[in-house]
Amino acid sequence: MADTVLVTGATAGFGRAITERLIHDGYRVIGTGRRAERLEELQQNLGEAFLPYPLDMMDRDSLRTLPEELPEGWREVDVLVNNAGLALGMGPAQGADIDEWERMIGTNVSGVVEITRALLPGMVARDHGHVVTIGSTAGTYPYKGGNVYGATKAFVSQFMRNLRTDLLGTHVRATNLEPGLCGGSEFSSVRLGDDEKAADVYRDTHPILPEDIAETVAWVIGLPPRVNINRIEMMPVCQASGGLAVVRG
Ligand code: NDP
Ligand code: 8X3
């Protein structure tokens, strides 16, 4: 049977592109997200190889019981793509909304930790599996307003590296994929709460697109089982780090 991939956040952006690409490549995909109607729509387009599974990454109980709750025939998840996530706000830390910080930590950190912990024992028992997490260049390079969002992505980067260490001796793989400026998703609309301001983020740029992320995920999981890609940092050609800043006077 084809490998089963669980993609969190399949209702938009990267997650949807990854789902469509992997179904096209012959995988079976469980797609999650809060917007159930979007998952249903995907199933109508993708057919029986796609299982819509509404799931909130902040719902700890549902994440903990996930392996038993999945329908029969879908419980052996071979690949987990930890994609669901969000940034909220761009202001300085001293004025930030603490509830927004909690939502980012709850989704990007606790959600990833919970679902990984829930699915990992099955992968190890079958001695076959792969956890791919979508981190960010924000986990490495600080920028103004990146505060807690960047910190959540630094957490998952180190979490994936530490997973590799614990999984040594098994055939379960772990990868952190760290993209920079990406367009074609709802990320900036969610972050800024305004479609016009979001469009401005990409004005006169050529960002990475969701299909580029999907291509990279497909490559990483399709490599021979002896190969583990630990981390990939990817940026559009129009982006580079800005160096250190100094205030004088
Ligand atoms: P989108 O906003 O387009 O998609 C985010 C996805 O995450 C949606 O499917 C959303 O589903 C899901 N999600 C968010 N919160 C929850 C939650 N509480 N429970 C379940 N699902 C949730 O953003 P992208 O596709 O751009 O982002 C995907 C990942 O890539 C994120 O982790 C992001 O941090 C990361 N990333 C994005 C970059 C970019 O520039 N776009 C660059 C680097 C990394 P729903 O709302 O239906 O629940
Ligand atoms: C998203 C990329 O630069 O907006 O993770 O933080 S950035």
Tell me the per-residue pLDDT of 136-183, one tens digit each, with 9 for 90 and over: 999 999 999 999 999 999 999 999 999 999 999 999 999 999 999 999
Which ligand has an atom closest to residue 190 CA? 1
Q: Does 149 participate in catalysis according to the annotation?
A: yes
In the prediction, which pLDDT does 85 show? 99
In the prediction, which pLDDT does 207 show? 98
The domain of 226 spans 4-234
- Atom from ligand 1 closest to the CA of residue 103: 18
Task: Indicate which residue of 27, 141, 149, 202 is catalytic.
Answer: 149
- Return the residue whose CA atom lies nearest to atom 2 of ligand 2: 180
pLDDT band at 1 (very low <50, low <70, confident <90, very high): confident
Provide the domain count of the chain: 1
Is 246 within a domain?
no
Is 164 within a domain?
yes
Q: What is the mean pLDDT of residues 89-95?
A: 98
Tell me the per-residue pLDDT of 106-145, one tens digit each, with 9 for 90 and over: 999 999 999 999 999 999 999 999 999 999 999 999 999 9
Is 89 within a domain?
yes
Is 48 within a domain?
yes
Taking the CB of residue 89, how many other CB atoms lie within 10 A of it? Answer: 19
CATH code of residue 58: 3.40.50.720
